[in-house]
Amino acid sequence: MPYIYVKARLLIAFSLVALLSAACSVSPQIGQEQPYVILSAENGMPIIQFDRTLSTLSVDRQSLVKAAAAEDLNAEQWLLENFDKADLKGLSEDTGFEKLADIVSDNDLDAKDVYWSVLARYISKADFACKEPLYYQYFQARYNLYEKEVSCETAIPFNVLSRYTANNIVYVDPRRLRDIHVVFASKDDNMMSKFGHISLRLVICPQENSTDAECDANLYQHIVLGYMAHVDDIKINRLKGLFGDYKAYLYANSFMDVYQKYTISEFRNISSMPLNLSQQEREAMLRSLAEIHWGFAGDYKFTHRNCSSLMQLALSAMWPNFSDELSLQTLYWRPDSFFQALQTTAIATSSALTDLELAEEGGFYFASTEAIYNKAFDVVNEAMKNHRYSSLSDYLSTNPILRDNAVQENTSYIARLQSDAYLLEAQLLLEELSLVKFESIMNAEMGYFFSKYGVAEIEAHMHQSMSSETYVAFSECVLGPLRERIRPIKRRDGIPDSFELASESTRKSCQAEDKAKLLKQVNLYLESLDPEAWADVKTAVYYWAEIINNINSYKELGNK
């Protein structure tokens, strides 16, 4: 065949291949679903579009802001008002969202309503990733709206409850967060803590460049986050706890208050086991914990929806390594079982608790102080010569006035207290423990009295009976903390910023001595309401005030 024909056929063949290739590259687009408009402006310009094929959202922010401003709304409000009019095919809550909402938000809200509210914030809020990191992670995985990471405020706020303060906003700098530990408080005889209690501890350093030892020793700045029932009664109702009538919140407490509650007041041990987290994982978990802390509310049931199961669900949502751990797929409702299971995994440093003596030195184990107080009791009882008390519990249950009388009558013992600092310290330890125990008794007795009459009736009675100055002090020291304890806790959409929290100043409640003086003043007014019901409270308050007097008198001996 002549060369010219061969060349012509080759050209035709190449042309056919090119045509076929072009046809192949175009053909899938013939039936491809184009992004459709969810919401548009009045002029017809698209504001939000959804690509069902790629499952991505796109937003014209300038048009969104302009449309909202035209109706005197912000972007979030405009979206919520217009979602009902939109074509929302393919946009709705799924099982994944429902599970996440159960961990992050108020469970009294319908998951569908929560979905649209959070979606509106995801689309409209520039700082959404910082304020609601868990929801941001979910929506990004599903709709991929944002291309760039957002820079967040350094400090992350927590509302830290402590013994003498309320609404105490503490800001945590992620750069000073050295570790996150799982904390287990051992069991006691109380029905609600017979399997212990589990929580998380934020190990916060004095400075960003502090050593590990300095961070571990910085206990007064450490924060403990744990799920607890919000008892909205003046006294706890066990049946309500069993059937889920109390709300659960992720509370923040100062570590030292937790230490006092468990190791001193209840003579329980505390184990603190580090989680194996990278710096990036620690910061992500810190922000996620803050999101849950400010937003979550759900039913608390002592038997199965409690500190243990709720913490496992939260860790699964916050930390992929936890959710990937096969041995933790079981939902442990017993805190002790959960802690034991966690110790067998590679995601926690269980070796920190192998040698309890070394663990105590390193700040990973805090033993019950019962042995310390028993030792102090032996020292005091031996020094008093006549062995007045048969045991530590006998000492603590004795009328504090009689205890003080026994000391004052023993001149040789007083002389030893003045000369022996070790003995004086032992005596002070016993009186301070007695104060802690009687404070619990006093609060319980007062709770029974207030539950009988109700806060409103007592407030009206006291307002009518007292001078305005004394009533103000009573309201601040007694009624204020009581109201705060029983009122529902305000829930928020994500982590509040410093501007939002500026109006919520820290309110200090009364110190022990201030409260003792006040209760002496108001004693007669409360007794006049119901002398018989007030009798037990009166005795507890009287003993409590006398213990404070004992402590002060011993301190004066040490100064002579």
Minimum mean pLDDT among 185-194, 357-366, 403-412, 548-557: which range? 185-194
Residue 8 has pLDDT above 90, yes or no: no
**Each residue's pLDDT tens digit, 209-238:** 999 999 999 999 999 999 998 654 445 545
Residue 228: phi, psi to the nearest 5? -140, 160
Residue tagged 């009988």 (tokens): 452
Strand partners, 51: 56
Encode pLDDT of 271-324 as tens digits: 999 999 999 999 999 999 999 999 999 988 877 889 999 999 999 999 999 999
Sheet holding 36-40, edge to edge: 36-40, 46-51, 56-59
148 in a structural domain: no
Q: Which of 316, 257, 250 is nearest to 439 (CA)?
A: 257
Our count of domains for the chain comes to 3
CA angle 128, 129, 132 (to 5 degrees): 70
% the chain with pLDDT above 90 = 54
Q: What is the mean pLDDT of residues 524-532?
A: 82
223, β-bridge pairs? 202, 254
User: Could you report the per-residue pLDDT of 103-140, keeping only the tens digit for each?
Assistant: 999 999 999 999 999 999 999 998 999 999 999 999 99
| Conformation bin of residue 226: beta by default, left when phi > 0, alpha when psi is -120 to 50 | beta
Backbone φ and ψ for 246, nearest 5 degrees, come out as -100, 150
Integer Cα distance of 524 and 513 in angstroms? 19
The two three-digit tokens of residue 428, written as one number: 């002070």
Residue 438 has pLDDT above 60, yes or no: yes
527 is a domain residue: yes
Q: Of the ranges 198-212, 304-318, 381-395, which one carries the lowest mean pLDDT score?
A: 381-395
Residue 151 lies in a domain: no
Among 313, 342, 366, residue at a domain's last position: 366
Tell me: do 325 and 391 sit in the same domain: no
**Residue 229 bridge partners (DSSP):** 248
Domain co-membership, 510 together with 393: yes
Q: Examine the pLDDT at 491 and tell me if it is beyond 50.
A: yes
Give the pLDDT band (50/70/90) at residue 504: low
Determine the residue type at 367. Answer: A
405 shares its domain with 476: yes
- pLDDT (0 to 100) of residue 538: 84
Does one domain contain both 125 and 236? no
| Between 485 and 375, residue with greater pLDDT | 375
If asked whether residues 395 and 529 sit together in one domain, one would say yes
Band (pLDDT 50/70/90 cuts) for residue 506 is: low
Check: CB of residue 48 under 8 Å from CB of residue 91. Answer: no
d(CA 141, CA 213): 39
Q: What is the pTM (predicted TM-score) of this model? A: 0.84
Report how far residue 210's alpha carbon sits from residue 446's, in angstroms, rounded to the nearest whole number. Answer: 45
Q: Which residues contact 441 (CB under 8 A, 6 or more apart)?
A: 540, 544
According to the model, what pLDDT value does residue 459 have?
Answer: 82
The predicted pLDDT at position 474 comes to: 79
What would the pLDDT profile of 254-281 be if each residue is shown by its tens digit? Answer: 999 999 999 999 999 999 999 999 999 9
pLDDT of residue 234: 40
75 in Cβ contact with 65 (< 8 Å) = yes
Range of the domain at 520: 371-558
Instruction: Find, among 212, 246, 132, 141, the residue nearest to 493 by Cα.
Output: 132
Are residues 440 and 316 part of one domain? no
DSSP state of 182: E
Residue 13's pLDDT band, with cuts at 50, 70 and 90, is very low
The separation between CA 472 and the C-alpha centre of its own chain, rounded to angstroms, equals: 31
Q: Are 501 and 534 part of one and the same domain? A: yes
**Residue 4: inside a domain:** no
- The reply to whether 353 and 379 lie within a common domain is no
Residue 28 pLDDT > 60, yes or no?
no
Whether 133 and 82 map to the same domain: the answer is yes
pLDDT band at 163 (very low <50, low <70, confident <90, very high): low
Q: Do 129 and 161 fall within a single domain?
A: no
3-state secondary structure 261-319: HHHHHCCCCEEEEEECCCHHHHHHHHHHHHHHHHHCEEEEECCCECHHHHHHHHHHHHC
Q: Locate 92 and state its tokens.
A: 């709705």
